[in-house]
Amino acid sequence: MNVPSDPAAPLLSASGLTLEFKGVRALNKVGFSVRPGELFSIIGPNGAGKTSLLNCVSGRYQPTQGTIDFDGRRISGRPPAVRAQLGIARTFQNLALFAHMSVIDNIKVGRHHLMNRGFLAGGLYWLTGARDEELEHHAAVEEVIDFLEIQHIRNRQAGTLAYGLRKRVELARAVAARPRLLLLDEPMAGMNLEEKEDMARYINDLSREWGVTIVMIEHDMGVVMDMSDRVMVLNFGEKLAEGPPAEVAADPEVRTAYLGAEMAGA
Does the residue 94 lie in any domain?
no
Distance CA 140, CA 131 (A): 14
Residue 60 — very low, low, confident or very high, per pLDDT cuts 50/70/90? very high
Q: Is 128 within a domain?
A: no
| 181-214 pLDDT, tens digit each | 999 999 999 899 999 999 999 999 999 999 999 9
Tell me: the pLDDT tens digits for 237-262?
A: 999 999 999 999 889 888 887 655 44
- Residues 159-187 have pLDDT tens digits of 999 999 999 999 999 999 899 999 999 99
CATH assignment at residue 66: 3.40.50.300
Number of domains composing the chain: 1
Per-position DSSP letters for 19-71, written without gaps between them: EEETTEEEEEEEEEEE-TT-EEEEE-STTSSHHHHHHHHHTSS--SEEEEEET
Task: Provide the residue type at 161 as one letter.
Answer: L
Which residues form the domain of 227? 1-12+33-87+179-260
Dist. CA 212–CA 205, nearest whole Å: 9
User: Quick check: 264 pLDDT over 50?
Assistant: no
In a domain, 51, yes or no: yes
Q: For residue 238, give the H/E element and its range.
A: strand 238-243
127 is a domain residue:
no
Question: 221 lies in a domain?
Answer: yes
pTM: 0.87
The answer to the question of residue 173 being in a domain is no
What is the C-alpha end-to-end distance of the chain, expressed in Å?
51
Predicted confidence band at 263 (pLDDT cuts at 50, 70, 90)?
A: very low
| Alpha carbon distance 262, 260 (integer Å) | 6
Q: Please, where are the H alpha helices in 87-161?
A: 103-109, 119-123, 130-147
Provide the phi-psi class of 50: left if phi over 0, else alpha when psi is between -120 and 50, else beta: alpha
Quick check: is 64 in a domain? yes
Is residue 229 domain-resident?
yes
SS3 call for 192 = coil
Helix (H) or strand (E) holding 17: strand 12-21
